[in-house]
Amino acid sequence: MSYTALGAQPKLPHEHIQAQRFSKTRAAQSRAVLEDYVELIGDLLGAEGEARITDVASRLGVSHPTAIKTISRLKREGFASGRPYRGVFLTDEGRKLAKRVKARHRIIVDGLIALGVPKETAEADAEGIEHHVSVKTLEAFARLVPNTKPPKTARMPSLAFRK
């Protein structure tokens, strides 16, 4: 069955508009990986006092070489540092980013719960949403929860990462 047999074809947006949308999505996907790593490293440092590459890899469900490659990128971008036989640490910029990501995550989870989404589902869904949400949507989520405003750090867009 062809696409046209399913009904009228929707009108495509102008080329540059569609290209901007796809470009934004690709950039968000690239940032999402780094944000997940920074958030997890911050959590591990807070809970266990250290963030070993082995722990990062197992908690993110990636191979050890993948974790090493991504953490190397975090180091190049100035978000992490490492010490031989001591694991990974966040720089000041890395801690700021982790705080921003954590705040966004919390607002989205709380907003989804306010909409009636079960807590476990809200937590899982927030993992995907948190990296792609706009400031306007984040502020709308914050309005769903009484006495909640996006922290100043959550209102700042994620940093643009270099390739």
CATH of 99-155, one of 1.10.3720.10, 1.10.60.10, 3.30.1490.270, 3.40.50.2300: 1.10.60.10
Encode pLDDT of 59-84 as tens digits.
999 999 999 999 999 999 999 999 87
Encode pLDDT of 6-44 as tens digits.
566 778 888 888 888 788 777 777 788 999 999 999 999
Residue-wise DSSP of 43-96: HHHHHHS---HHHHHHHHT--HHHHHHHHHHHHHTTSEEEETTTEEEE-HHHHH
pLDDT recorded at residue 160:
40
Give ranges for CATH 1.10.10.10 in the chain: 22-90
pLDDT recorded at residue 133:
84
CATH of 22-90, one of 2.10.109.10, 3.40.50.300, 1.10.10.10, 3.40.430.10: 1.10.10.10
pTM, two decimal places: 0.74
